[in-house]
Structure 1
């Protein structure tokens, strides 16, 4: 998902107060704070939802000791001054027990984003989020890019960026390196894009 609008820089405390007010209508929008700027995430379309659910089922079958969580917030960026809502994140079962809306990302092995068809997908999903997730030290970032029909695996975070980025066309096998260490077949994605 991508941001629809951005606002001027604000503190984490201001952002969390604003995000708390939006919880009354969670179906209308989700908020994120990346690089000190508030982003309003568009709600997913049907294809987006199906891609995420395909991944949930795939990981449940192939890595049953892990859970692919959806619709939950993470503290991101250096010193955790950002707030992101990845489309999905892979972590050991029970990782978020007892945590609030914005959880510690330390146990997260991988985050997943699925692009949306809006104006700032390039900036948000391809630039801002990889930087934020790498700064946080999340080992893997998987981008399902519906514009280019590619799965893009970002790995080996170092100095605020992922040092290895591998793109494969939909339909090709994609290897998710350690700590996930799994190869997935992406043929299903060919039928999940416009």
Structure 2
């Protein structure tokens, strides 16, 4: 098993299966302020979101909440969604899923229950957010994947998942409005600074 912490690695014994890696996650003593995912056969440990990311996540959740599909809930709380076919397990920054997926004692949730995921990139996670997760979410049938590229200050929406990945994609600079396709069919304002100022005034 390889454990990646801010991209440096610690080599150990690789589990024989994806299930073995999930078991290893349960036994892993993740430092406070970090979360763990399974990406490309590695356990990747990344820091929690920066403080100002939390405001952006709140603004996104507030805008999407009135447009959720029936029975779905939105959250930015830590949660691990599992994709056994791709041997991946991700903890998205924002996740929308049917409320039934939460009715379990397991800390591993079914990725097929997701209707939207959003990731806010950081220098340590950006490559995976833009590549590995795009492929996995698309092939798994997650209807909408929203990427907030915090380094480039751009929002990208991917939709129309298929066996090849996402068929639809468009990008807008922060400050512009971007359409979030079905099952949400709404507009997201990415002028986060103006939205925060309006809340504080």
Give the one of 163, 167, 180 matched to 1:159. 163
User: Could you say which structure has the greater relative contact order, defined with CA pairs below 8 angstroms and 6 or more residues apart?
Assistant: 1
The residue number in structure 2 matching 1:18 is: 24
Give yes or no for contact 1:132–1:160 (8 Å, CA) kept in 2: no
The whole-number CA distance in structure 1 between the counterparts of 2:19 and 2:99 is 29
Give the paired residue count.
Answer: 187
Query: Displaced runs of 4+ in structure 1, greater than 6 A?
Result: none
2:6 aligned counterpart, secondary structure: strand
2:43 equivalent to 1:38: yes
Q: Deviations over 1:42-61 (max 9, x none)?
A: 22111122211222222334
Which runs of no fewer than 5 residues in structure 1 stay unpaired?
none
Q: SS at 2:45's partner residue?
A: strand
For the aligned residues, what is the CA RMSD? 2.6
**What is the aligned partner in structure 1 of residue 95 from structure 2?**
89
Q: Which residue of 1 aligns with 2:199?
A: none
Show CA shifts across 1:77-124 (max 9, x none). Answer: 6x2521111111112344322252111122211111001133x52x21
**DSSP-derived class of the 2:82 partner:** strand
- Structure 2 unaligned residues grouped into runs of 5+: 197-201
Deviation string for 1:23-82 (max 9, x for gaps)? x556342111122222112221111222112222223345495421231111126x2521
* Superposition TM-score, scaled by structure 2 size: 0.80
Looking at structure 2, the residues matched to 7 and 14 of structure 1 have their Cα atoms a distance apart, in angstroms, of: 17
Q: Secondary structure at the match of 2:113?
A: coil
Could you give the per-residue CA deviations for residues 130-180 of structure 1, whole angstroms, max 9, x where no partner exists?
111112111110001111111100111122421111001111111111112
CA contact (8 A) 1:76 1:105 kept: yes
Which of residues 110, 114, 125 is equivalent to 1:108?
A: 114
The SS at the match of 2:101 is coil
TM-score by length of structure 1 reads: 0.83
Helix, strand or coil: the match of 1:95? helix
Q: Which structure would you say has the larger Rg?
A: 2
For 2:82 and 2:158, how far apart are their aligned partners in 1? Answer: 19
Is the 1:110–1:138 contact (alpha carbons within 8 Å) kept by the matching residues of 2? yes
